[in-house]
Each structure stands twice: as C-alpha cells, then as structure tokens.
C-alpha cells in the first residue's frame, strides 16, 4: 500500500477539494490518501466553521482514507511553521508523496525556488528586513525580496497564497531530509480569495463561507459547490448545534480577555510584538464587534491574518513559551479512517515515525494539552445544552471509522 499526503483545512470541504483528492491519487499513483487537517482554529487565525470531527468525516466520505490533526502549535502559525508540522506528520506516516494545489501548477519552479533561496539565504533575509523597515507586511516583504533577487527570471510567484504554502512544503521536505516527493496540481476555476461564485460547481471556501454567513444565507445556497455528503453533514451540524462557528461568536470572550489583562500580561501572548498589546487594549475599549476591532488594530505592517492569529492566541491564552521551539510534530492524532485507512495503519503501525494517538488520556503531552485547550475554547460558542458534551469531546470521541 502506498500513501499520498495532503495538507488541508476543509472549511468546508467542497467540490474543489474532492477534485484535489482524486488528482492526488492519479498524479502520485497511490491508493491511500492521508490528510493532515487543522483542528479547531485555522492558519488564517479563524475558528473552523464546524468541529474537526465533522470536517474529518466530510473528508473521509469524499475520498480521504486517514485524517490526522495538525496540532495547534503548527496550525495557527505562519506558513513556514505550518508546513514544517504538516510535513513531519506525513513523513512519520510513511507517505511517499505530498500533493498540494497551487496557482503555478509547475513543481519544477518550487524546487528551483527552494534551492535558490537556500543558496542565497543571507541575502534573501537581508532583503526581507529592508522591505519590512519600509513598512511592508512580512508576506509582502518576502515577495518583494524574491522578485528583487530573481529579476528577469521566469520564477515562482510568491505573492500567491497557495504558491507560498507549496514553497514552504518543498522547503520543509528539504530541511527535514524527508523522503517525501512533492507534487502539485494547478488550482481549478476558483481562486483562493474569491469572494463570489464564479463557476457552476467549483467555488472557494472563502466564497462558500461568505454565502453561508450572509444575512439571509442558507445551506441550500452553497449546495451546488459541495459534495452531497458534505451537505448532509452541514445540515446535521446546524440542527445539532444551531450554529456554524465564526469570529463574531467569540468576540465577547476575546473582549473580556482584553478588558481584564494588563499590557505586560498581554505581551507574553504569542505573536504580541512591538507594542501591539497597547493597540489591542485601546481598541477593545472602543470596538462593538470583532470586525470593528480588527479595523481599529489593522496597520499596513501587519496583515489581517497575522492579527487574527494573535487574537486566537489571546483567546486560548497561548504564550510565547507554549508555542516556541516546535520544529516537528511529536505525535499522530488520529481523527478518522476508512477501512482502507485502517488496513494501512495496521500494516505500518510498528513502523510509524511518531506515536499514534487514538484516545486521549489524563496525562497528555504539552502539544496535546494545547489542542485540548483550543477545542474547549472553541466549544464555548455552542449553546448551553451542547456545551458540556462538546467541551469533553476530545476525551469521549473515538476516531471516526467508515
């Protein structure tokens, strides 16, 4: 049995994701797909629209064979750390390849970029610092530095979000000396940041969420863009919990935290740098919604995503000490599997590169403790009737088996 890995968030799982899973198998020749999926909070600093268990089941019903959770300490991070954690999990799970979607679709450009920047690391970092000093955000500074160093060449466009992640996957594979072969497929129809539907059956997760959270939006509005299995699970989730998760539901909790913290206390939270704590505290007194709060703290230097991640860390009380020094994952947290996935794990269970965690005990690692804390905070948006069961779900939920 041979496995191809994918790194995902499925927020929600849609037809473009189903295409990716099919293409990953076809391109790699693998017969098993292993998905590494973010848990309760996501890389862009947002709560996942539905629980990790529901999203894992969406994946399993639409083509994935095994779903592992990407630990919080990697999931709510900038692209290089996010990629490093995901690659370490796929390597430990004995994946032969990693297939990612990109705006480029040309894997040779990713290899070239990874080699080029490793050979010009000092010059590249110095150029990034120069662009940062001019007030650019880090992603913008990195893109400008890349253009400056590789001018007059047909190179990888590192201003595109999926190209950035793909570059970091390839870079992590090289740095970790992993045996994984990177593969890429060109994104189909919808762009990552598309706000509206531009196709009859393929839409970005961003546009799907926008339609879902619109004033009169319904699940029926997005049904053409998701598999039937996803549609049914969304209906069930809404009926069970009465919500889909979004930042405004967590705003009272975030505002409470900010109104009760002093500046020196807030400065210990991960991603609170360069006096941001003072800006956050002042804005918390004025804002009447999360969106209003974000407009008050937004600056040219810091991206919306970067600031949202800081908000997640405040919400979960994740300190710089909690988050520092993690270069690789140290466990495989199993969320679910198909029968084929179970056969794969049974075959390789003694040869996995990390401990396989299928049930949580009272004595967990520091990384798992962060995951559990994040899940409990995430549960606070649910109604009182569901909150108790939701908060303890990490301890009571067995891996999903289809």
Cite the annotated binding site for ATP by residue number: 7-20, 101, 162, 187
- Which parts are annotated binding residues? 7-20, 101, 162, 187
**Residues 10, 15, 18, 22, CA torsion sign:** negative
CA–CA gap between residue 147 and residue 184 (Å, rounded):
22
CA distance 154 to 322: 41
102, 7 contact by CB (below 8 A): no
Query: Residue 156: which residues within 8 A CB-CB, separation 6 or more?
Result: 104, 109, 110, 112, 113, 146, 163, 167
CA angle 162, 202, 221 (to 5 degrees): 120
Q: And the tokens for 75?
A: 């999931």
CB under 8 A, 24+ apart: contacts of 163-166: 163/102, 163/103, 163/104, 163/110, 164/79, 164/139, 165/7, 165/79, 165/82, 165/83, 165/100, 165/102, 166/100, 166/102, 166/104, 166/110
């Amino acid at each position: 049995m041979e496995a191809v890995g994918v790194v995902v968030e499925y927020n929600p799982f849609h037809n473009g994701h189903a295409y990716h899973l099919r293409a990953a198998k076809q391109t790699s020749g693998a017969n098993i797909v292993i998905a590494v999926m973010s848990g309760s909070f996501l890389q862009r600093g947002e709560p996942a629209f539905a629980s990790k268990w529901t999203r894992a089941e969406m994946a399993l019903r639409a083509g994935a064979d095994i779903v592992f959770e990407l630990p919080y300490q990697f999931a709510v991070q900038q692209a290089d750390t996010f990629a490093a954690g995901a690659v370490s999990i796929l390597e430990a799970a004995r994946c032969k390849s990693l297939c990612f979607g990109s705006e480029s679709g040309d894997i040779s450009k990713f290899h070239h970029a990874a080699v080029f920047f490793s050979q010009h690391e000092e010059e590249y970092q110095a150029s990034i610092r120069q662009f940062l000093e001019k007030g650019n955000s880090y992603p913008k500074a990195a893109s400008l530095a890349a253009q400056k160093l590789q001018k007059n060449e047909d190179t990888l466009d590192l201003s595109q979000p999926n190209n950035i992640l793909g570059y970091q996957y390839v870079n992590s594979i090289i740095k970790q000396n992993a045996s994984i072969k990177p593969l890429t497929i060109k994104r189909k129809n919808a762009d990552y940041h598309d706000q509206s539907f531009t196709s009859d059956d393929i839409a970005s997760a961003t546009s799907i969420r926008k339609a879902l959270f619109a004033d009169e939006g319904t699940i029926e509005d997005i049904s053409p863009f998701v598999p039937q299995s996803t549609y049914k699970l969304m209906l069930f989730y809404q009926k069970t919990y009465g919500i889909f998760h979004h930042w405004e539901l967590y705003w009272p909790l975030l505002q409470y935290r900010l109104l009760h913290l002093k500046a020196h206390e807030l400065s210990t939270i991960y991603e609170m740098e360069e006096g941001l704590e003072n800006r956050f505290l002042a804005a918390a007194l004025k804002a009447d919604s999360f969106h209003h709060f974000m407009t008050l703290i937004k600056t040219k230097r810091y991206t919306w995503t970067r600031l949202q991640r800081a908000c997640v860390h405040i919400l979960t009380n994740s300190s710089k000490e909690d988050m520092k020094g993690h270069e690789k994952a140290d466990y495989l947290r199993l969320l679910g599997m198909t029968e084929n996935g179970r056969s794969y794990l049974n075959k390789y269970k003694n040869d996995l590169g990390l401990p396989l965690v299928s049930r949580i005990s009272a004595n967990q690692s520091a990384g798992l403790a962060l995951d559990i804390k994040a899940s409990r905070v995430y549960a606070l948006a649910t109604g009182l009737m569901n909150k108790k069961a939701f908060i303890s779900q990490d301890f009571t939920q067995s891996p999903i088996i289809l």
